[in-house]
Amino acid sequence: MSRAISVLGATGSIGQNTLDLVARAPEAYRVVALTGGRNIAQLAADTRRFRAEVAVTSEPALLDDLRAALAGSGVEVAAGPQAIAEAAARPADWVMSAIVGFAGLAPGIAALGQGATLALANKESLVAAGALVKATAKAHGARVLPVDSEHSAVFQALVGEDMAAVERIIITASGGAFRDWPLEKLASATPEQAATHPNWDMGQRITIDSASMFNKALEVIETREFFDVDPDRIEVLVHPESLVHALVGFTDGALMAHVGPPDMRHAIGYALHWPDRGHVPVERLDLSRVAQLTFRPADEARWPALRLAREVMHQGGLSGCIFNAAKEIALDAFIARQIGFMDMARVVEETMTAMFTANCHKAAQLTLDTIVETDHLARERAGALVPLACN
Ligand code: NAD
Ligand code: MG
What pLDDT does 390 receive? 66
Task: Tell me which residue range forms the domain holding 62.
Answer: 3-146
Which of 120, 146, 172 marks a domain boundary? 146
**pLDDT higher than threshold 90 for residue 222:** yes
CB atoms within 10 A of CB 197: 18
Does residue 168 lie in a domain region? no
Per-residue confidence at 388, pLDDT binned at 50, 70, 90?
confident
What pLDDT does 391 receive? 55
Ligand 1 centroid to Cα of residue 43, in Å, is 14
Q: How many domains does the chain have?
A: 2
Does residue 246 lie in a domain region? no
Which of 117, 146, 175 marks a domain boundary? 146
Ligand 1 centroid to Cα of residue 302, in Å, is 26
**pLDDT higher than threshold 90 for residue 147:** yes
Ligand 1 centroid to Cα of residue 87, in Å, is 17
- Reference 339, options 184, 198, 183, 186; nearest CA is 186
**pLDDT higher than threshold 80 for residue 285:** yes
What pLDDT does 131 receive? 96
Does residue 43 lie in a domain region? yes
**pLDDT higher than threshold 70 for residue 165:** yes
CATH number of the CATH domain containing 384: 1.10.1740.10
Residue 168 in 3-state DSSP?
A: strand
What pLDDT does 385 receive? 96
What pLDDT does 223 receive? 98
Does residue 357 lie in a domain region? yes
Does residue 85 lie in a domain region? yes
Does residue 129 lie in a domain region? yes
CATH number of the CATH domain containing 18: 3.40.50.720
What pLDDT does 363 receive? 80
Which of 146, 176, 204 marks a domain boundary? 146
Report field, pTM of the whole predicted structure over 0.95 = yes
What pLDDT does 362 receive? 94
What mean pLDDT value characterizes the chain? 97
**pLDDT higher than threshold 90 for residue 95:** yes
**Facing residues of 6 across strands?**
95
What pLDDT does 135 receive? 97
Which ligand is closest in space to the CA of residue 99?
Answer: 1
At residue 251, φ and ψ (nearest 5 deg) are -65, -20
Written as one letter, the residue type at 321 is C
Per-residue confidence at 198, pLDDT binned at 50, 70, 90?
confident
Per-residue confidence at 364, pLDDT binned at 50, 70, 90?
confident
**Average confidence (pLDDT) over 150-159:** 98
**Average confidence (pLDDT) over 314-331:** 98
**Alpha-carbon torsion, ordered 43, 45, 46, 50, to 10 deg:** 140
Ligand 1 cavity residues, CB under 6 Å: 9-15, 36-37, 58, 84, 98-100, 103-104, 121-124, 148, 200, 202-203, 205-206, 264
76-92 as b/e, with b when 16 or more CB fall inside 10 Å? bbbbeeebbbbbbbbeb
Q: Give start and end residues of each alpha helix (H) in 195-262.
A: 204-212, 214-227
